Structure 1
Amino acid sequence: MEHLSTDFGNLGFSSSRGGGGNGSNTGEWPRQQPVPPPQSRNTPPPPQSQYYQRTSSRGSSSSNNMGSSVNRSNGSQDWQQLESDLNAATAKEFVPGHGWSSHQHSSASSVGSNSQGGRSYSDIFGQDHSRDQQQQQQQRQGQDEPAPERTFSTTIPSGPSPPSFRSLHSLGLSDDTWRYYRGLSMEMNRQMDPSDPRHKAIPFPYCNGFCLDPPNPHNARSSFGYPCNTFQVVNREDGKLYCLRRFDNVKSVNPKIAATVMEQWAGLEHPGIATLHQCFVAQRAVFFVHRYIPGVQSMMQLTNPPSFDETVIWSAICQMVAVIRFVHGAGLALRTLDLRHTLVQMDSLRLRVYLNCLGVVDALEFESRKSFQQLQAEDMRNFGRWVLSMVTGTNITAVTDAQTLQNCERYCMQNYSRELRHFILTLIRSQNPPSIMDVSRTLSARLLDDLDGTQLALQRTERALAGEYESGRALRLLLKMGFVNERPENGVNRRWSQSGDCYVLTLFRDYVFHQADGAGNPVMDLGHVVTALNKVDTSDEEKIVLSSRDGKSMMVVSYADVARSLESAYHELVSGSVPPPSVQQQHGQGQLY
């Protein structure tokens, strides 16, 4: 009968045969892993030497201690007791960082892995335990706190995720956004025919005029009571677009009044107003220059005034409240609040509202004796009329007859909420209308709703910008390569020979754009083009192989080498260049380009 000895005090056991054995006898089973007593999570692990003695020899047939076998055929009581203690249903396993824990053995996989909390652990007895050894050494040096819990990554190999697939349309703006900005660009580049006599009405330094006035066959006066011409112009000094208004036959405005009005409105910028840029007297006329806002039209120019939803109307009210609050806070008054001077910009998300012609009435009616308090109170009444005009599509002013005003109020009562009708009537019919601060406090909830709409519009703009952020860098590289590659005047230059430094640019151009398969068919790989240009722009150190078209020349370069060659060749080209003839002519005349 074989002698078995167990040493549970040391969290292990040992077995010895009378003559000593290596476990290779026929009919002997390999010894199973002993079951240690359960310990709490905070219990420090056993000494490192004993731990390694138990774990390093697991499954090894050459160990005299752990690898010895037991002859089960003898059927001793000691074996039965040991087999009961090693019942698989109650076996404990030591997991580094988790202490001794029991798990259910449902299959042979219990020896190799354990799944806890969705994380797969490989067999801990085949792993490197250098971290456990360092941890136990620190504990022996006086660190009594438990070791921090560690997590083990899965042993399943995983490579880098494949790049997302992108189409040609994903690299730029969407079709709708592209058409919208294309329309704005076409609008901003409009010009009158060079032989148009109206060019004479535009003073220096403005040029490239385009008339913005609607057809006026009867020569009717403007809403300000004077003949007026409106032009889209370009300022020669800064190259920006402006809206220029010319008022003829105005005798009440002199240069001093124009300077005073300009001083009052100078520097007032708000996203909801067309900022006054300049006011001056020239050619026996008064000129007002405002910021040009492309893609807008006045409310009165809408061919079929839409029936606005109440949500849209409240959004326009909130925008106009912000404008009035800004202007009144600066100690000024609008004096132009009606549909004729309200610019709108409609898209799929929201309605943008701008107020135009600020400062015009201040100059034309400079001799008015009304105080700013009276003018601001009149602004609030005009604000109520402006909202009612939006609701009904009829331009309502201070001189509108009572019957028309009553019909518009009845229409508002039948089609819109009581809150909106009460808001309009409070502004129109009050002897002392509420101030803009009182209105702002009343509309606090509506203002937050409008802020949400603004954030949505901003997110859409950011998405469009994200689709275009690569375009500028790629265009810059392509322009430089177009200037540098294969210039005819450099055909005999050594730098452009097949052994020159800049020859790499010609080979790189073929590498990027002239790919072909084994049969000579062109390969249109947009991803390859974008990736290569991005790596050149960032001077990536990745190596590539460039080959000539005949295959006789090959070179290994990095994207950084290509970038340095491109910059060197381009700067050399610029240093020997001359400006275009038109620029030379303008410099000769003392004009700024």
Structure 2
Amino acid sequence: MNRRGAETADPSGDLASLNLEPALSRASGPAPSLPHSASTPSFASFNPARACEHVGGTTYYFTAEEAAAQKSAEPPTVPAPFTAYVTPPPQVAPGRGAGSASLLGAARAPAGFFASDELREQILKQQSLMLVHPNPQAYPELPTEVDSYHELCPLEPPGPLQKSALFNCVTSVYKATNVKTGQCCCLRRIHGMRLANTNSLQTVAQWRKLSHTSLVALREFFTTKAFGDNSVVMVYDYYPGAETLMARHFSQPPQLNGFADPFQDPSIPRPYSAQKNAVLRQKNALMPEALIWGYIIQLSGVLRQIHAAGLACRVLDPTKILVTGQDRLHVNACGVLDVLLADSGNTNSMMMVQHYQQEDLVGLGKLLLALSCNSVLAVQPDNFNTSISIVERHYSADLKAVIMNLLVPNGGRQRSINDVMPMVGARFYQQLDASHRLCDRLEDELGREVQNGRLFRLLAKLSAITERPELNLDGAWAETGDRYMLKLFRDYVFHAVTEEGRPFLDMAHVVQCLNKLDAGSSDKVCLMSRDLQNVLVTTFSELKQCFERSFRELFEASLAKDPPGA
């Protein structure tokens, strides 16, 4: 590979330190015939009496006196201890894991250094959603700061405020940033509410202790007048790009021979025949049973955690369950009804908690029945028999048994969420296997990017050193001494050309050279100036020393109190 250019510099200081003058001497004889590849130089003017050595495809010439002097200066060689395994040098990039090929398929060579486009696009989309700001014209009354949160952005479309059917009060949801931690959170505001007592604080403290992967954690609870009224704000974790279970599975209206169903709005009274026909039509687009079992495992797991803490969920509604990624469920808005109940003066006794836990099981059964029939109308009492018949015809007996156990009372006996676990059976291992596969995939994606941060820091330092106009009023600082060596190395890595003169673009070459520089490898490298007049043979270890000295000098100059020449 050639290193070609039009600039010339004086590297005499480095030549003396590296003892390369004999190899570069051109005082006598005709001009050398430069090769196409800088890694295999040959000079016609060299004395044939000199010895030569081939290392890594590069030929080095030296006299007998130089070889004897270098051998006497080298320390005695100590044999390495015997080991059963040999560790490769740090500059060698490892291959991909055994399970990577089956998970992601064969990838092109450049893609092996970076995460997949699908994962990168997903992460970038989430990050862009975290940076979204509202239009001040659409929300003129939105406060700039609420308690310790700022950059509020409504997560609901603008429009008239309406009471929540589940909470029976007006609520709003905002994205905000914590000024102390910089973390994005979700603020759920309850309009026009003033706390009459401190009973709700105890309930909030219990919810804050809960932690589960399928639960949107409650982080903080406070009152504020920043919105112009007395509002209660509950702070939850924020999941960018999440959608509700209602939007994921129940947003498509039923079709009648290509025409929209006139009774698609559940709030509009409709005849029983229309309801029954709507339920029957959905059987053509039923959900896979494996997906429903995955939802059962996630929801039963979070309910088991909540009930074990002496609390009740009470929000098992399709509009309050978030879906992220590959069908991951997160139960949202937990604790809102507890705060409203505690503030109303009702006592949240153990008897009431047990009653609400039984309602959670019924709510889980209704949700599973609606998912199995792919219609929210399936849970209405008039459609119950029709919905159960659809489940019986299209799904396994185990799924029907789970739904019937949750919906039909069993002789007044107190049911428990733990009763669902034996019905899940071996399907739990399928869910566990899917989770492990996802972990393996993400670990493989992380393995591709784990070294990129280190290489980026190395490139940032190298770019700060090379081609610098001046340092401490020295305009030739970047073209002399150690910096000249680094400039040639930069050309060797990024400005190489093929024998035909085309740019040599090889990601493996770049990564290997940067890794060898960072590790201080003892491998030798042949550097050539852009005007082809200077050839330097050095090692990556010496280049690293030049790199560290130059950056240390640059860093000390940045910390100097007085500017140069003051």
**TM-score, length-normalised on structure 2?**
0.66
Tell whether 2:337 aligns with 1:361: yes
**Greater CA deviation, 480-489 or 458-467?**
480-489
- Report the CA distance between 1:300 and its aligned residue: 1.7
SS of the equivalent of 1:502 reads helix
How many angstroms apart in 2 are the aligned matches of 1:459 and 1:200? Answer: 44
User: 2:458 matched to which residue of 1?
Assistant: 477
> What's the CA shift string for 1:37-83, capped at 9, x where partnerless?
xxxxxxxxxxxxxxxxxxxxxxxxxxxxxxxxxxxxxxxxxxxxxxx
User: Offset at 1:390?
Assistant: 1.9
Letter in structure 1 aligned against 2:252: N
**Using a 3 Å threshold, how does the CA distance of structure 1 residues 474 and 232 change in structure 2: closer, same or farther?**
same
Assess if the C-alpha contact under 8 Å between 1:277 and 1:290 holds in 2: yes
Distance 1:497 1:175 in 2: 38
Q: Does 1:414 align with 2:396?
A: no
Map Cα deviations across residues 91-117 of structure 1 (whole Å, 9 max, x no partner): xxxxxxxxxxxxxxxxxxxxxxxxxxx
Aligned to 2:223: 281
Residues 198-234 of structure 1 show CA distances to partners (whole Å, capped at 9, x for unaligned) of 5317503212232211454464546312211111221
**Equivalent residue, structure 2, for 1:493:** 474
Deviations 1:380-406 (A, max 9, x none): 222212211222334479xx6421444
Instruction: Give the SS at the match of 2:134.
Output: coil
User: Any conservation in 1 of the 2:493–2:510 contact (CA below 8 Å)?
Assistant: yes
Alignment check: 8 A CA contact 1:192 1:210 kept: yes
Once the two structures are superposed, what CA deviation does each residue of 1:442-464 show, in whole Å capped at 9, x if it has no partner?
Answer: 32322122111111111221222
* Corresponding residue for residue 266 of structure 1: 208
Q: C-alpha deviations, 1:510-549, integer Å up to 9, x for none? A: 1110002345432112211111112223332222222221
Q: Counterpart amino acid of 1:181?
A: I
1:316 aligns with 2:258: no
Correspondent of 1:233 among 160, 172, 176: 176
Aligned with 2:334: secondary structure? coil
Cα displacement (A) at 1:468: 2.0
* 1:208 pairs with 2:140: no
Within a 5 Å distance, the mapping from 1:488-567 to structure 2 comes to: 488-490=469-471, 493=474, 496-567=477-548
Which residues of 2 match residues 121-200 of structure 1 at below 5 A?
167-193=109-135, 196-200=139-143
Structure 1 equivalent of residue 321 of structure 2: 342
Alpha-carbon distance in structure 1 between the residues aligned to 2:545 and 2:337? 60
Larger radius of gyration: 1
Q: CA 1:307/1:210 → structure 2, altered by over 3 Å: closer, same or farther?
A: farther
Aligned equivalents of 1:253 and 1:446: distance in 2?
Answer: 48
Work out the CA distance in 1 between the residues paired with 2:477 and 2:331. 60
Judged with a 3 Å threshold, the aligned counterparts in structure 2 of structure 1 residues 545 and 163 are, in CA distance, closer, same or farther, namely: farther
What SS does the corresponding residue of 2:482 show, helix, strand or coil?
coil
Residues 258 and 281 in structure 1, CA contact (< 8 A), matched pair in contact too: no
Q: Report the residue type matching 1:295 in the other structure.
A: G
The one of 312, 315, 318 aligned to 1:333: 312
3-state secondary structure, aligned to 2:400 = helix
**Match for residue 186 of structure 2?**
243
The answer (yes or no) to whether the contact 1:388–1:396 under 8 Å persists in 2 is no
Figure out how many residues of one structure are paired with residues of the other and give that number: 412
Aligned to 2:175, what secondary structure does the other structure show? strand
Matches within 5 A, 1:43-62: none
* Cα separation, 1, equivalents of 2:391 and 2:329: 21
Separation in 1, partners of 2:159, 2:508? 55
Higher relative contact order (CA 8 A, sep 6+): 2
Q: Distance in 2 between matches of 1:163 and 1:365?
A: 58
Q: Per-residue deviation at 1:317? A: 0.4
SS at match of 2:129: helix
Q: 1:163 to 1:291 in 2, by over 3 A?
A: closer
Unaligned 5+ segments in structure 2 are: 1-91, 97-106, 254-284, 560-566
Tell me, in whole angstroms, the C-alpha distance in 2 between the residues paired with 1:235 and 1:363: 23
Structure 1 pair 497/228, CA: closer, same or farther in 2 (3 Å)? closer
1:450 corresponds to 2:398 = no
Tell whether 2:414 aligns with 1:468: no
Distance 2:461 2:136 in 1: 35
Separation in structure 2 between the aligned mates of residue 556 and residue 257 of structure 1, nearest angstrom: 78
Q: How far off its partner does 1:258 sit?
A: 4.8
Higher alpha-carbon deviation: 170-179 or 194-203: 194-203
Percentage of identical aligned residues: 30
Partner SS for 2:357: helix
CA pair 197-536 structure 1, distance change in 2 beyond 3 A? farther
Asked whether the 8 Å contact 1:386–1:396 carries over to 2, the reply is no
The one-letter amino acid of 2:239's match is I
Instruction: Determine which of 389, 398, 413 is the counterpart of 2:370.
Output: 389
Aligned-residue RMSD, C-alpha: 3.0
Structure 2 vs 1, CA of residues 240 and 163 (structure 1 numbering), >3 Å: closer, same or farther?
closer
For 2:418 and 2:471, locate their aligned partners in 1 and report how far apart those are by CA, in whole Å: 71
| Aligned-partner residue type, residue 140 of structure 2 | P
